[in-house]
Amino acid sequence: MKNLLYVIAMGVFLASCGNPAAPDSENQVGGKSNEQPVEQIKLSESDLFDGESVRLFLFQNPKANQESNQQFLNALDEFKNKKNLNAAASGFLTSIMTYPSSKAYYELGNVYMEQSNYQQALNAYSMAEKLGYEPFSKVLFNVACAYSQLKNYPMSADYLQYAIQSGYANIDNIEKDADLKNLREEEPYLYKSKMTLALNGVSDVENLHWLQFKRNFVQASFPINLTDNQGKPVLDEKNRISYDFERFISEMRDERFSREVSKGFFNFVQVAENNQFVALIYIVKDEFNGDMSPLTYRLVTFTKEGKIIDKKEIAGREDYSENLKMCTINKDLTFTISYYETTFQKDPEEEGYYENPIVSKKKVSAEKYRISSSGKIQYVSPVTVSA
């Protein structure tokens, strides 16, 4: 995810932890060190749809930017009044590079729709959604329109249902909107069935709960490199997963079905969303061990309704005595998990892990996996490790 992923954003959603004395402060996925301070992010146009980079920028720059707002207003004037789409797109992109806002992403998505650039419109609406644009229902409706234009009718129909259940009430517009014409005319049964479900309120609460959970995971850019090169992430309460969402995180309940309070769970990234499944990564930290706790990264696949299909721990480790896992996920949803033996400066059995940095890592094995078309996480093969 470019070099900018080397710090996983905390702040609005991104994650991790650390104490300068933690043993993996230099080398572990999820470590932190005072020796290498967090780099200040400056956004370029190529970063604007990299959710982690945007979230990190907003964490580092929590105050809104007046210059960005003026750029937004100028772009809005070009779009709404002067009908100059190219100038409007350029203006919204400039505003976002200065200071990303949900409203700028939303209007940029609208410009892309006018330009028939539907995939980019989806990218912009996704960022608007992740940054908390309101009304949420309007974003979902526009996503349905973009998918209709791309002739992805199952996704269009799903998002239309979500939009109505989230409060979109302009039914007359749904029946007439030109962007939904493909869905209405080419898949009339699907269109009418989803409209009926939505208007009857079927699964309303469950759908909304799932949407609110899913929207907290920023879209990843590929390849996703969960390695020591990604840097020194930090945790923040704002990306902590609430127990309100425990039905999506099975580890939040232990074997006795009581709440698992010793662990903290944090949003990370969305890996994929398609007609069959949604793939997310969240981070787990042992709260009782404080800042020196190692982190684990878990890949979970869900049905479109939010039911768990499969899950696997893909990076980090639960205990320092275990091998360290690193992972690279590709755009085709294949991924490789590499296992490393770590050597500490002092004997952990005598000195423990506190203030005991890693001095070397040795790759001992690797395995290739893939997420199948049904959302199952499948083992593919071992990967040869050079001596």
CB 380, CB 369: distance < 8 Å:
yes
- Paired with 299 in beta bridges are 281, 312
pLDDT tens for each residue of 300-339 = 999 988 999 999 999 999 888 899 999 999 999 999 999 9
CA distances from 273 to 252, 279, 289 (A): 24, 6, 34
Query: What's the rounded Cα separation, in Å, for the pair 289 and 319?
Result: 11
- Output the pLDDT for position 36: 45
- Tell me the per-residue pLDDT of 26-73, one tens digit each, with 9 for 90 and over: 334 544 333 344 567 788 888 899 887 888 888 888 888 899 999 999
d(CA 41, CA 56): 7
Residue 201: count other Cβ atoms within 10 Å of its Cβ: 11
Range scoring the smallest mean pLDDT among 97-101, 141-145, 181-185, 206-210: 206-210
Q: Are strands 263-273 and 224-226 parallel, antiparallel or unpaired?
A: unpaired
The answer on pLDDT for 229 being more than 60 is no
Instruction: Assign 228 a pLDDT band (cuts: 50, 70, 90).
Output: low
Closest C-alpha to 177, from 211, 204, 138: 138
pLDDT tens, 83-126? 999 999 999 999 999 999 999 999 999 999 999 999 999 999 99
Kindly list the structural domains of the chain, giving each domain's residue range(s) and its CATH number in brackets, ordered by start: 3-42+221-382 (no CATH), 45-212 (1.25.40.10)
In 3-state terms, what secondary structure has residue 223? coil
Kind plus residue range of the DSSP H or E element containing 144: helix 136-149
pLDDT of res. 259: 56
Q: Is residue 190 pLDDT above 70, yes or no?
A: yes
Q: Mean per-residue pLDDT for 208-233? A: 78
Interatomic CA distance for residues 75 and 77, integer angstroms: 5
Is 265 within 8 Å of 252 (Cβ atoms)? Answer: yes
What beta strand segments (E) does the chain contain?
Answer: 218-219, 224-226, 263-273, 278-286, 295-302, 308-316, 324-329, 334-344, 358-371, 377-382
79 half-sphere exposure, CB direction, 13 A CA radius: 23
Alpha-carbon radius of gyration of the chain? 22
Structure tokens at 9: 């954003």
Q: For residues 271 and 298, is the Cβ–Cβ distance under 8 A?
A: no
pLDDT in the model for residue 199? 86
- 293, 16 contact by CB (below 8 A): no
Cis peptide before 23 (omega within 30 of 0): no
pLDDT band (50, 70, 90) for residue 387: low
For residue 105, the one-letter residue type is Y
pLDDT at 12: 32
- pLDDT of 8 higher than 50: no
User: How large a percentage of the chain has pLDDT more than 70?
Assistant: 83
- pLDDT per residue as tens digits for the range 248-307: 998 886 644 555 567 889 998 999 999 999 999 999 988 776 677 888 999 999 998 899
**Is the per-residue pLDDT at 155 higher than 90?**
yes
DSSP state of 107: H
Mean pLDDT taken over the chain = 84
Residue 168 pairs in a beta bridge with none
